[in-house]
Chains A and B, each alone.
Chain A
Amino acid sequence: MNNDVFALWVYLARTPLLWLTVTILAYCLCDRISAALHRTPLANPVLMSMCLVGVLVRVSGTPYATYFDGAQFIHFLLGPATVALGIPLYQNRQLVMRAILPMLCALVAGSLTALVSAVAIARLLGAAPSIVTSIAPKSVTAAVAMGISGRLGGDPGLTAVLVILTGILGAIVVTPLMNRLRITDKRARGFAAGLAAHGIGTARAFQVNPLAGTFAGIAMGLNALLTAIVLPLLL
């Protein structure tokens, strides 16, 4: 009997189906918990799901590569989701065009702040050059940041992790921080979330308000663009 269970586990553990299912169900559960807690920033669905799935992968002794074989189908959707950000952008195009000047000013100021402060602090605290390079594009959406980091001699896998951690951090901090700074403009709050915390910040902004989400999506796209151009000059 025990042998049968083991054989079944060996079979299931090798199919992409297992970890794809686990990832989706873990997210559904954590999203429910987040909703039940009235979307309080600390109960971030990405953070909770990551911990839950991470523990399951670790405890079952599954190599990350095996996990990713199943989860890659979800990871792939990041691309189409970025394209789909064009839809709220189109729907709010008049509002966006009216705010073009504040957007461009905030983009340049915010993007440079994110880059320079991350690089300066990491260097000051004695991080190795390859780690500094891996940290630098932390505010940019995962796929793009990994590309930049790899090209400049960083570690793309580490960059992906740092990008996600930055996103979670930004998504948790943004609402209380904006309240503290007394910034009430939903466009400014959303734009900051997307610029500093890419897609996870954008997901958070959409949770709070569709207009904030739209501006977050634009900021995420623009910052990916600007960082890809500026970072090679800076390092």
Chain B
Amino acid sequence: MLLSLGLILLCQLVGEAIAHGTGIAVPGPVIGLVLCVLLLLARDRLGRRVPVELADGTFEQTGRGILSHLSLMFIPAGVGVIQRFDVLAGNALAITAALVVSTVLSLAVTAWVFSVVAGRAE
């Protein structure tokens, strides 16, 4: 469990180092996500030479544990809304319209394009 957590943090750390070191636009945690997939693929290659914790499903379980509370992690930034009431109220119409219309449009376009292209390919 602890090793799994350490490895997840290591992926993020290396990801941040790559992002800041090279100055590319890709965010550190997203590079970490790719590294996490590579780590699991490497594990499959190495067979029995990896630590037990990586091979017995503990790593996957730890990741699922973190992901099952993804909603919780947005609360601290969300509570910041109490600081911004003035800006939100001052631009209420522009902000509300932009958020609502753009969110509904992008949901619809994304899902529609996905299912049309998938329907043609399959």
Residues of A within 8 A of B (CB): 23-24, 26-27, 31, 45-46, 49-50, 53-54, 57-58, 64, 67-68, 71-72, 74-75, 77-91, 93, 99, 101-103, 105-107, 109-111, 113-114, 117-118, 121-122, 125-128, 131, 135, 138-139, 141-144, 147, 155, 157-158, 160-170, 173-174, 177-178, 181, 183, 185, 187-189, 191-193, 195-197, 199-200, 202-203, 206, 213, 219, 221, 224-225, 228-229
Contact = CB atoms under 8 A, between A and B. Distances in A.
B110 interface: yes
B37 A84 contact: no
10 contacts: A68-B76, A75-B77, A84-B66, A85-B36, A106-B110, A106-B111, A110-B109, A164-B77, A173-B104, A228-B26
Contacts of A174: 107
Contacts, number: 316
Contacts of A163: 77
Contact of A195 (B25, B83, B106, B121): B106
A58 B102 CA distance: 30
A196 B67 contact: no
B29 A71 contact: no
A206 B107 contact: no
Contacts of B110: 106-107, 109-110, 113, 188, 191-192, 195-196, 219
Contacts of A26: 75
List the 7 closest A-B pairs by CB distance, nearest first: A86-B36, A110-B110, A71-B76, A82-B29, A114-B106, A125-B94, A87-B63
B23 to A, nearest CB: 12
A79 B12 contact: yes
Contacts of A84: 8, 36, 62-64, 66-67
B11 A87 contact: no
Given A79-B32, A183-B111, A191-B114, A118 B99 contact: yes
Contacts of B80: 64, 68, 157, 160-161, 164
Contacts of A183: 111-112, 115
Interface of B: 5, 8-9, 11-12, 15, 25-30, 32-37, 39-41, 59-60, 62-64, 66-84, 87-88, 91, 93-95, 97-115, 117-118, 121
Contacts of A193: 107
B112 A221 contact: no
B91 A74 contact: no
B25 A173 contact: no
A54 B117 contact: no
Contact of B91 (A88, A93, A127, A141): A127
A221 to B, nearest CB: 5
B118 A173 contact: no
A225 to B, nearest CB: 6
A222 to B, nearest CB: 9
B87 to A, nearest CB: 6
Given A106-B113, A117-B105, A192-B114, A224 B27 contact: yes
